[in-house]
Amino acid sequence: MKTRIIIIEDNALIQAAYKKAINTLPDIEIVGTATDGKQGFELLLATDPDVIICDLNMPVMDGFEFTKKAMAEKPKPILIISDLVQKEDEGNIFKVLQLGAIDVLPKPRFGGDINLIAQELSRKIKVLKGVIVFRKTQKNSTSTVESLPSASNQGTAVRAEPSLPSPGFVRKNFQIVAIGASTGGPQAFQAVLETLPGDFPLPIVCVQHISPGFSESLVEWLSHNCKIKVQFAEEGKKPSPGIAYFPKDDHHLCIRNGVFHLNTDELVRGHRPSVDYLFHSVAKEYGDLSLSVVMTGMGDDGARGLKEIKDKGSYTISQDESSSIVYGMPRVAYELGASMEVLSLESIGPRILALVKAKS
């Protein structure tokens, strides 16, 4: 069955270029086009597409308002393609992600060839067609922990209230928090990090799969929305409490001998930065004294690293299916038995706080 998409774009030439590019892609069909958000919403109701491609700067109803309305009334995976989401436009990028869009793709700048985005369109549409979306007027998840079926290969995942350490928890003086995510990660990182106080007593090391050129925007956006500091890790520097660190563009991040190291080693599971790369170093460096989380994302990066961390005796968490935009990475982590707990997104931050406060 073909993936059915609609295009909302007011520029006729660009709309035609999208059609030309998409018509070369197998298993994807365009079921309608619109020139503004109002028409686009009517088309959404009439065609019930699998994926929506939408511009931001349009007459009558712009892409921001369309995204807000669509996600409140008829949620579908939305890919924003606009000249207003270049890497320097972090305000627009993360505003539209907060409204519920799943991903963004910058239009080629003036004089660029719009047809060159065909391959990227194909990749992003394939991801978006399997995404489960939620109404933004409602909470995406409950505040309870998902109950896990018992299975010999699924470890000892437990059920517990998010405000208290789980039954059987051995109190530890955790030294670091490590978190990894991919598709849907910017929203997930915001949801978790904004719950942590400015005097949070541990450093937090993070990996987010993100398009080249957007890491700076992500760090800047999170800095404006969180009480803790958010910044790039620096080569040779020691991680400090109350700071969330991300690697710079196209660099792996690891910790050795108590300090950060960044490099451009080969891709790991198709990614640089890689969550597994970071987690392997955390397992080796901190043994049983790390607290690690795998959140929403496509693929399996981070799952094996999380298992290695759990095998060292550290505490591990994966995000649940109902609150994940893409239940790939956390699903594999759970299936590998890497997750001590599976938590809804809104429960992860409170759980981290509870575990850290419960130290001996």
The residues annotated with a catalytic role in the active site are: 182, 209, 301
Phi, psi of 300, deg, nearest 5: -135, 10
| Among the listed residues 267, 294, 278, 106, the one whose alpha carbon sits nearest the alpha carbon of residue 192 | 294
Q: How far apart are the first and last CA of the chain?
A: 56
| Among the listed residues 357, 359, 358, 307, the one whose alpha carbon sits nearest the alpha carbon of residue 332 | 307
290: left (phi over 0), alpha (psi -120 to 50) or beta: beta
| Among the listed residues 187, 182, 340, 189, the one whose alpha carbon sits nearest the alpha carbon of residue 268 | 182
Which residue is listed with tokens 């060159």? 116
**Rounded to 5, what percent of the chain is helix, strand, coil?**
35, 20, 45
d(CA 274, CA 282): 13
CA dist 17 to 23, 36, 220, Å?
10, 17, 33
Peptide bond into 186 cis (omega under 30): no
- Transcribe 92-120 into DSSP letters: HHHHHHHHT--EEEEPPPTT--GGGGHHH
